[in-house]
Structure 1
Amino acid sequence: MSSPRVVQMEPPDDSVVTVDLTHKAADLWDRIRRGFGMPDLVADEVTNRQIQYLAHPAALSRLFHRSYRYLYHIVDELEARGLPTEIALLPLVESGFDPMAYSSSRAAGLWQFIPSTGRYFNLRQNEWIDERRDIIASTDAALDYLERIYDMHGDWHLALASYNAGEGTVLRARKANEAKGLPTDYLSLDLRKETRDYIPKLQALKNIIARPELFGIELPHVPNRIYFDMIDTPPGVDLALVARLTETPLDELVALNPAYRKPVIPEGKHQLILPADKVEVFKARLDEAQPRWKTYQLQRKDSLQVIAKRFGLTLTQLLQINGLDSSRKAKPGMTLLVPAGADVSEVLPLSELIPDMPTEEDIRNAGKGKKRR
């Protein structure tokens, strides 16, 4: 397996990025540039990736636009830990900044954690919530993981390769090169194609963001200010009610709270993420945010058709509200959401915005996905 070929050439003087740190960052992209701290990867594959990205400007623009809700929080966390801000661009490679992204290897969320790694970093995963999709929890977990593997290697390129392929894979590749008397840097390791392409993708995006004018690209304006904030919320409140009380579009609310797998906040202590300018609005109307749902535990001899009728629903509505695409997915012992004063028509649109994640049975039927992280 061949390694990326290093281009042996000095960059022209006008390619050097200079940043005036005496002035406040003009926007979040400017702030990210100021925090770049990883060594640049100079390789043919980086150039090829730049060409591919630039050949599809509409797709590149969509990629950048999807990041605006989440970037400020991620950059804040990176700076608090003293980490290079290139890491804020990693979700562009991992998930295209789509918190609902789900891969064939069962990786979920912005940072694409598989279930086992998610559990290792204490990301809750149950029928109500999957914190691999939670913006705040998954970012904390990803940065914890990246700090750990950087400490292991002392090299950011090897740390990023480990994030993609697993630290064991990279350690074995390093030991194999050591045994042959070969260099053990990222470019010299015998790694699978996905991992060999991984860092060139990130470097290509870094290069474009560092000098967008050089490539004829106009980055979307992302203000250098907080975009969202958190608030404790009572259990049993549905997202549709929160959207109405705060005059927030449903798709915006779901994009900020993608961890919830059902349209209702479950029992226990949970936080809701709202646009920063909506938090005080919600606090002022908190007395109106009363639970409008209850749960029903499915018994062995229960009929979904009968249950739906009992609670004034059609069978289709009962399935939609509970994220089920078939009655066969409803098993004894499952907890179903049923209305207790809710306007069902107000909540149904959420079923299209909250994609259900495959069950273990779905995964077994589809075959095992490729192994990763």
Structure 2
Amino acid sequence: MKRKFTTLFFCLALLGALPAVSLAAGASDAAPQGALTAAEIRLEAGCAGSNDAASEFEGLEKGDCANEDGGLAYSELIVDTASFEACELEAEDKVADGFSGEDALPACVNPAPSAVSSLDGTGAVASLSEDDGMPEVPIVVNKSVESFINYFQTRGRKYFERWWDRSEDYMTMLQSILREEGLPEELSYIAFIESGLNPRARSKANAVGMWQFIRGTALRYGLRVDWWIDERMDPEKATYAAAKYFKNLYGQFGSWYLAAAGYNAGEGKVARAVRKHNTEDFWELASHKRPFRRETKEYVPKYLAALLIAKDPVSYGFEPAAYNDAVLYEKVRISQATDLRVIADAAGTTVDEIQRLNPELLRWFTPPNYPDYEIKVPTGTAQTLVENMEKLPPSRRIAFQMHKVRRGETFAKIARKYGTSVGPILYINNMKSAKYLKPGTVIAVPVRSDGVARSKGTKKDVAFVYMHEDFQS
């Protein structure tokens, strides 16, 4: 046990997670040269930037390596627990108990500070309160920026146009949230180059959503990620989380360019670079062979190129965006798991529209144990949904249990065990075929009251869902 703790302590020290290793520390306190950050480890695992610009952006559009880090990993956040697994389990337990937002933050994770601080040239920490606001992103045009402008105008034009068209749906909302949080709206174009504003984007490193959060960072900033829902794919909630993250990054570095580099490569890597080269100038840091990889060196100029084009698209050969076509919706609180078909019928819309407005939903149902969850519905339909949901008969509310598949079990065997049929099981789990069922997989099983009694589960394992009548057992 002692040896295991010593190993963990050493790993935490290498990753810069121990609170004793602060940004204001001297060289003797810095992480050892050559130590990999969590972001670098993920890069070594196969998410390094492509050597070919066209393939890199094509991959990004397909959700490949849009951001190898996207934020802190648990190994960079734990401050008072003995294992990474314990921290993650604590976060999952809090979500399972119905907590959300900041209330879901595990005790083993440093909460996002309400005030941020930055380093001056001497390494001293200067205070920056939320009331002071944040400065705008400075615009620099140099050869690196011009090269990406040229790329977006030529070889990468088809990708940029695709993202530009998507900005009509989301950019108004993103910029409104950033302004609300006291941040410059120009940061919205970080999401532009991270994912092409695709809320369903997923990288090889499992960074997900428009802002490309990894799971640990999502949990840290209050997003729910579980079997039912992945709020990294909720453009609104993910943008609020990204805003908190950017406040912390700017507070740490006092520079939007270094904050952007930290978003891409991890703040630990950027902090070590600042200390090693004794400069807070991103362009000077990027001129060295190390410490940044090519992807991070190109990240800021790529972002600035996108920002310059967005500010004056006509001058760069693009059509102006029609922001009047932004995605509009209303939100209705759904206190218990409900079939999306039931919601669509009650709101007088289609399931496809409900899924388009709520990409975070991973199943055909809203999540259980989430009493504050709000479903997005087309503008003008919220009141209709509320009125029709109140009319739903109790017979439409059925129970379900979570079942871990054992070796040799089939859907038919599981259905018989719980007194249901295969069809509802496939439906509730969003599965199309009953042929493939791997041992260890956890599935939801609709059950009758007698099915609950026959199964080995307890009442604590049971949740309820409003299910469409066509799929009730």
Q: TM-score under structure 1 normalisation? A: 0.72
Greater relative CO, 1 or 2 (CA 8 Å, sep 6+): 1
2: distance between equivalents of 1:247 and 1:330? 40
1:66 matched to which residue of 2?
166
Mapping of 1:1-373 within 5 angstroms?
37-55=136-154, 56-178=156-278, 183-189=279-285, 190-223=291-324, 227-268=328-369, 269=371, 270-288=373-391, 291=396, 294-298=399-403, 300=406, 302-307=409-414, 311-314=420-423, 317=426, 321-322=430-431, 327-329=436-438, 331=440, 334-336=443-445, 342=468
User: Identity, % of aligned pairs?
Assistant: 27
* Matched residue SS, 1:69: helix
2: distance between equivalents of 1:41 and 1:251? 43
Instruction: State whether residues 411 and 422 of structure 2, in contact with CA within 8 Å, keep that contact through their aligned partners in structure 1.
Output: no
Instruction: State whether residues 169 and 327 of structure 2, in contact with CA within 8 Å, keep that contact through their aligned partners in structure 1.
Output: no
Cα deviations by residue, 1:33-70 (Å, 9 ceiling, x for unpaired): xx992101322222121222222544323212223333
2: distance between equivalents of 1:223 and 1:44? 35
Cα deviations by residue, 1:133-168 (Å, 9 ceiling, x for unpaired): 222322121110100110111111111111111111
Instruction: State whether residues 341 and 468 of structure 2, in contact with CA within 8 Å, keep that contact through their aligned partners in structure 1.
Output: no
What is the alpha-carbon root mean square deviation over aligned residues?
A: 3.2
Instruction: State whether residues 401 and 444 of structure 2, in contact with CA within 8 Å, keep that contact through their aligned partners in structure 1.
Output: yes
Change beyond 3 A, Cα 1:284–1:152: same
2: distance between equivalents of 1:325 and 1:38? 53
Cα deviations by residue, 1:272-295 (Å, 9 ceiling, x for unpaired): 122333323323322356756542
Change beyond 3 A, Cα 1:318–1:213: closer
2: distance between equivalents of 1:345 and 1:315? 5
Instruction: State whether residues 237 and 293 of structure 1, in contact with CA within 8 Å, keep that contact through their aligned partners in structure 2.
Output: no
Change beyond 3 A, Cα 1:319–1:172: same
Q: State the Cα distance separating 1:225 from its structure 2 match.
A: 7.5
Number of residue-to-residue matches in the alignment: 308
Higher deviation after alignment, 102-111 or 236-245 = 236-245
Cα deviations by residue, 1:158-207 (Å, 9 ceiling, x for unpaired): 111111111110011111111xxxx4311111411111111222111111
2: distance between equivalents of 1:138 and 1:161? 19
1: distance between equivalents of 2:316 and 2:441? 58
Change beyond 3 A, Cα 1:288–1:167: same
User: Which consecutive residues of structure 2, in runs of 5 or more, have no partner in the other structure?
Assistant: 1-133, 286-290, 448-464
Change beyond 3 A, Cα 1:132–1:184: same
User: Which consecutive residues of structure 1, in runs of 5 or more, have no partner in the other structure?
Assistant: 1-34, 347-373
* Matched residue SS, 1:335: strand
Q: State the Cα distance separating 1:261 from its structure 2 match.
A: 1.4
2: distance between equivalents of 1:94 and 1:254? 23
Structure 2 residue identity aligned to 1:49 = F
2: distance between equivalents of 1:319 and 1:341? 9
* Matched residue SS, 1:106: coil
* Matched residue SS, 2:380: helix
Structure 2 residue identity aligned to 1:295 = F
2: distance between equivalents of 1:134 and 1:79? 19
Instruction: State whether residues 207 and 215 of structure 2, in contact with CA within 8 Å, keep that contact through their aligned partners in structure 1.
Output: yes
Change beyond 3 A, Cα 1:218–1:248: farther
Q: TM-score under structure 2 normalisation? A: 0.58
Instruction: State whether residues 61 and 219 of structure 1, in contact with CA within 8 Å, keep that contact through their aligned partners in structure 2.
Output: no
Change beyond 3 A, Cα 1:208–1:148: same
Change beyond 3 A, Cα 1:316–1:238: closer
